[in-house]
């Protein structure tokens, strides 16, 4: 699988297959903050993207409160 990029809710989401796993990176283009998760290649790309975006939102909200 080649790296794929797509936008979800204004965030950039990238998928990279590494061995038997998929690394999913979500990037906020405004703050340039990025987070990554590692998931199963058997999981749907939609589920993995939602999880990565949810983690990104968590980190952005955490940074605001500090």
What does pLDDT average to over the chain?
A: 90
Residues contacting 60, CB < 8 A, separation 6+: 28, 31, 33
User: What is the model's pLDDT at position 2?
Assistant: 41
Whole-angstrom distance, CA of residue 38 vs CA of residue 52: 9
Spatial contact of 6 and 13, defined as CB atoms under 8 Å apart: yes
Residue 64 has pLDDT above 50, yes or no: yes
User: What is the model's pLDDT at position 1?
Assistant: 34
- Tell me the percentage of the chain whose pLDDT exceeds 90: 80
What residue spans define the domains of the chain?
A: 4-65
Query: For 46-62, how does the pLDDT look when each residue is reduced to its tens digit (9 = 90+)?
Result: 999 999 999 999 999 99
């Amino acid at each position: 699988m080649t790296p794929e990029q797509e936008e979800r809710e204004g965030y950039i989401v990238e998928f990279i297959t590494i061995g038997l796993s998929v690394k999913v990176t979500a990037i906020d283009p405004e703050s340039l903050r990025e987070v990554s998760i590692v998931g199963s290649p058997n999981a749907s790309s939609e589920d993995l993207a939602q999880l990565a975006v949810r983690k990104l939102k968590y980190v952005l909200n955490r940074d605001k409160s500090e």
